[in-house]
Amino acid sequence: MYNIFVLPGDGIGIEVTQSAVRVLKALDLDIKFSYGEIGYECYKRHKTPLPDKTIDQARTCDAVLFGAVTTPPNIENYFSPIVKLRQDLQLYANIRPNKSYPIPGFRENVDLVIVRENTEGLYSGVERTEQSGEKAITERIITNNGCERIIRYAYEMAKKQNRKKLTYVHKANILRQTCGLFRSIAQEISQEYPNITTEEMLVDAMAMQLINKPESFDVIVTTNLFGDILSDEACMLVGGLGLAASANIGKAGALFEPVHGSAPDISGKNIANPFAAIMSAKMMLDYLGEENKAIIIEKSVVSNLKKGYSTKDLGGNLNINQVTDKVIEKIQELIK
């Protein structure tokens, strides 16, 4: 039996995780779902966006299914609970696949995975001001261990998924110390994987080439901020936020979440696209070793996209519950 800890969070996070859970329940798996609190609504109730109880449960479950949280404006001492949770659980690898699906208006033949370092870099959280606020400083922390584990993760994932090429992305010509370290470790580790073609690319060139020839990339590995930006760019090539799923993986845990936020502009209107959360649940099943069930989810989503069964953001006219019903209907047909 799998113990899945669901953290819906705020806004459409609550709506889309409900859809993902419904889809998982349709798959004949032995899953026990438990629920926890996180985010701004949680802060209003408990004076913290991330209670200790949530961290403890996230640590002991088999996987976390997360929705999205709202960042409130200007509350002193407020912190991002999802960034903190990823750090506390040492979920160092953020995996964001971007694949072409049959949706009119988007790029074809794209099948790339961005592997983003998730715990250090410019998101180290080490910030200060000096000279009475005249000068603000954020420390970009890159460690040997941090580079080694993320680069190794990317190569191992490439090997497992039978992918042929890995591009490591940096800006070592300018950021000579931090990106220099990342680059030299990537060069070293690449020697261990002679069957995977390795290439390097500066981050600005990468931003351009992602638009120019996205079909030429396979696995991309990079530091935290670069990965954050490049993965948002990449998702717009193949369907946008409504489809973008992600995994956060560490040695002792894993958390799966749609890339999008809590979308207050559409929250409560029943029009949020559940595919990103459903595909995150699919990634969770891959992680748990339930690859056959994961494929069924993906097949069902693709079949629905082909028929144009989607929410407004992808050109469809169904609401979130209708899309979820269609996905479940197809799953039931595939399982038979």
Q: Which residues are catalytic?
A: 123, 171, 204, 228, 232
What are the phi and psi torsion angles at 209 (to 5°)?
-65, -25
Place of tokens 């800006």: 171
Alpha carbon distances (Å) from 335 to 21, 261, 289, 332? 17, 32, 18, 5
Residue 186: name its binding partner from ligand NAI, Mg ion, none (Cβ under 5 to 8 Å by kind): none
For Mg ion, the closer of residues 66 and 155 by Cβ is 66
Q: Shortest Cβ distance from residue 16 to ligand NAI (Å)?
A: 6
**Single residue of 7, 20, 58, 69 touching ligand NAI by CB under 6 A:** 69
For ligand NAI, the closer of residues 223 and 262 by Cβ is 262
> Residue 273 interacts with ligand NAI (CB under 6 A)?
yes
For ligand NAI, the closer of residues 94 and 300 by Cβ is 94
**Single residue of 36, 253, 261, 316 touching ligand NAI by CB under 6 A:** 261
Alpha carbon distances (Å) from 277 to 14, 206, 208, 243, 280? 10, 27, 28, 8, 5
The mark string for 220-249 relative to Mg ion (x by CB under 5 A, - otherwise) is --------x---------------------
Q: Give CA–CA dist 79/76, Å, rounded.
A: 9
For ligand NAI, the closer of residues 119 and 262 by Cβ is 262
**CA atoms lying within 13 Å on the CB side of residue 8:** 17
Q: Provide the strand spans (E) within the chain.
A: 2-9, 31-35, 63-68, 93-99, 111-117, 127-130, 135-138, 165-170, 197-202, 219-222, 245-249, 254-258
Identity at 295, one-letter amino acid code: I
Structure tokens at 127: 């910030």
Residue 276: name its binding partner from ligand NAI, Mg ion, none (Cβ under 5 to 8 Å by kind): ligand NAI
- Residues of this chain, 71-90, that bind ligand NAI according to CB under 6 A: 71, 82
Nearest-CB residue for ligand NAI: 261
Nearest-CB residue for Mg ion: 228
Binding residues (CB under 6 A) for ligand NAI: these are 12, 16, 68-71, 82, 241-242, 260-266, 272-273, 276, 311, 313
